[in-house]
């Protein structure tokens, strides 16, 4: 049985979302898939051929083994799961959440244990906590739903209708980003400078609402301007890096509508809003000439939005 999930890009609201501020994220067309089948006996195992990794639920020494145990916690049957992700680990694109959601869906299909959104998200969050400690839940929510979502911790996600599909260029800094490490760093900064950090978070919340309005209106230049302002706030928060700054600079020279880091920061990826698929491709080429890897992706309107 097969499960699929989207990768994600946070347009506005990184880190602030951990403290109850709304964030805006979109699902991208790159993601993860998982296939599950029953085994005659345990332990259950997970294979990720692209990473040359195999773990079982008895493997307590590796995060992936503990995550497999967590996502299978209420599953009585032994399973053989093979998963694949089109996303770079530690890139800020929701790789682990996409894998968790895809695996949860495959588990529910093969065991009859349920593929409702609530059950899939419950399993996926158990998986995510192994890697990230205290995840906000935004990655798993977007991985499961696709489209655009306004997310506020502890509240139901709110779909944001897209007037137009989005063309994005994603550039990788070459450095993996640890969500847990960066969240801990921001928490320390907030304990030392609470007024400054809370002010930055409040401005991120304002920009989140403005970005959502721009999506509804299909106003790409306005959305791009918001992304640029969000990057300035993230730099002030201390979660950017020289590589991320360089990616944003190269994208700016290539005519981006707006560019910023996406995810926890300290490395990972940059998202740049393009005016067309060709424009996104041109930005990726500019990054490659500067020594970075990248790819283009698309955020599509949901079928009900196209009706």
pLDDT per position as a tens digit, 7-50: 999 999 999 999 999 999 999 989 999 999 999 998 999 999 99
Phi, psi of 112, rounded to the nearest 5 degrees: 70, 20
Query: How much of the chain, in percent, has pLDDT values that exceed 90?
Result: 78
pLDDT for residue 70 is more than 60: yes
* Residue pLDDT, tens place only, 188-223: 999 999 999 999 999 999 999 999 999 999 999 999
**Pair 14, 263: CB distance under 8 Å:** yes
Q: Locate CATH 3.30.230.10 in the chain.
A: 2-159
Q: What is the mean pLDDT of residues 126-140?
A: 87
User: Rounded distance, CA 123 to CA 70, Å?
Assistant: 8
Q: Which residue has the higher pLDDT, 180 or 256?
A: 256
Q: What local confidence, expressed as pLDDT, does residue 301 receive?
A: 64
**Is the previous residue joined to 20 through a cis bond, with omega within 30 degrees of 0?**
no
Instruction: Dump the DSSP string for 194-216.
Output: HHHHHHHHHHHHHHHHHHHHHHH
Query: Per residue in 102-121, is it b (16+ CB within 10 Å) or e — as a string?
Result: bbbbbbbbbbebbeeeebbb
Mean of per-residue pLDDT scores for the chain: 92
Q: What is the mean pLDDT of residues 233-244?
A: 96
CB neighbours of 189 closer than 8 A, spacing ≥ 6?
197, 237, 238
Q: What local confidence, expressed as pLDDT, does residue 114 receive?
A: 65
pLDDT for residue 115 is more than 80: no
Q: What local confidence, expressed as pLDDT, does residue 304 receive?
A: 54
User: Rounded distance, CA 144 to CA 16, Å?
Assistant: 21
Q: Locate CATH 3.30.70.890 in the chain.
A: 166-306
Q: What local confidence, expressed as pLDDT, does residue 142 receive?
A: 92
Q: Considering only 38-52, 131-145, 253-267, which range has the smallest mean pLDDT? A: 131-145
The domain 166-306 having CATH identifier 3.40.718.10: the answer here is: no
CA-atom Rg of the chain in angstroms = 19
Structure tokens at 119: 């059950």
Q: What local confidence, expressed as pLDDT, does residue 86 receive?
A: 92
Active site residues: 139
Q: What local confidence, expressed as pLDDT, does residue 305 receive?
A: 56
The CATH topology of domain 2-159 is: Ribosomal Protein S5; domain 2 (3.30.230)
- pTM here? 0.87
User: Rounded distance, CA 32 to CA 100, Å?
Assistant: 9
Query: How much of the chain, in percent, has pLDDT values that exceed 70?
Result: 97
* Residue pLDDT, tens place only, 289-300: 999 999 999 997
pLDDT for residue 76 is more than 90: no
Q: What is the mean pLDDT of residues 132-150?
A: 88
pLDDT for residue 92 is more than 90: no
Q: What local confidence, expressed as pLDDT, does residue 14 receive?
A: 93
Q: Which residue has the higher pLDDT, 243 or 180?
A: 243
**Pair 170, 297: CB distance under 8 Å:** yes
- For residues 62, 67, 69, 74, the Cα torsion angle rounded to the nearest 10 degrees is 170
Residue 175 burial (CB < 10 Å; 0-12/13-18/19+)?
middle
pLDDT for residue 84 is more than 90: yes
Q: What local confidence, expressed as pLDDT, does residue 113 receive?
A: 66
Q: How far is CA 18 from CA 83, 129, 139, 201, in A?
A: 28, 14, 12, 10
pLDDT for residue 307 is more than 60: no
Give the side-chain half-sphere CA count within 13 A for 248. Answer: 23
User: Rounded distance, CA 219 to CA 221, Å?
Assistant: 6
Q: What is the mean pLDDT of residues 255-282?
A: 96
Q: What local confidence, expressed as pLDDT, does residue 187 receive?
A: 95
């Amino acid at each position: 049985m097969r499960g699929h999930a989207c990768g994600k890009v946070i347009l506005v609201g990184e880190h602030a979302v951990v403290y109850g501020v709304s964030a805006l994220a979109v699902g991208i067309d790159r993601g993860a898939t998982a296939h599950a089948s029953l085994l005659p006996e345990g332990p259950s195992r997970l294979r990720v051929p692209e990473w040359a990794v195999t773990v079982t639920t008895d493997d307590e020494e590796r995060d992936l083994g503990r995550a497999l145990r967590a996502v299978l916690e209420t599953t009585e049957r032994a399973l053989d799961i093979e998963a694949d992700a089109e996303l770079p680990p530690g890139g800020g694109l929701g790789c682990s959440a996409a894998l968790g959601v895809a695996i949860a869906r495959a588990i529910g299909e093969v065991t009859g244990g349920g593929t409702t959104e609530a059950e899939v998200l419950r399993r996926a969050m158990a998986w995510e906590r192994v890697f990230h400690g205290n995840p906000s839940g935004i990655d798993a929510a977007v991985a499961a739903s696709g489209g655009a979502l306004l997310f506020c911790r502890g509240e139901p996600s709110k779909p944001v209708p897209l007037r137009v599909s989005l063309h994005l260029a994603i550039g990788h800094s070459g450095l993996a980003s640890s969500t847990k490490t960066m969240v801990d760093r921001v928490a320390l900064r907030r304990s030392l400078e609470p007024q400054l950090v809370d002010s930055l978070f409040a401005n991120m919340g304002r920009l989140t609402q403005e970005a959502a309005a721009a999506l509804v209106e299909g106003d790409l230049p306005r959305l791009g301007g918001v992304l640029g302002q969000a990057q300035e706030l993230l730099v002030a928060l201390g979660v950017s890096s020289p590589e991320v700054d360089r990616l944003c600079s190269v994208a700016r020279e290539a005519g981006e509508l707006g560019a910023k880091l996406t995810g926890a920061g300290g490395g990972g990826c940059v998202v740049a809003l393009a005016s067309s698929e060709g424009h996104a491709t041109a930005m990726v080429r500019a990054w490659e000439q500067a020594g970075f890897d990248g790819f283009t992706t698309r955020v599509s309107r949901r079928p009900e939005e196209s009706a």
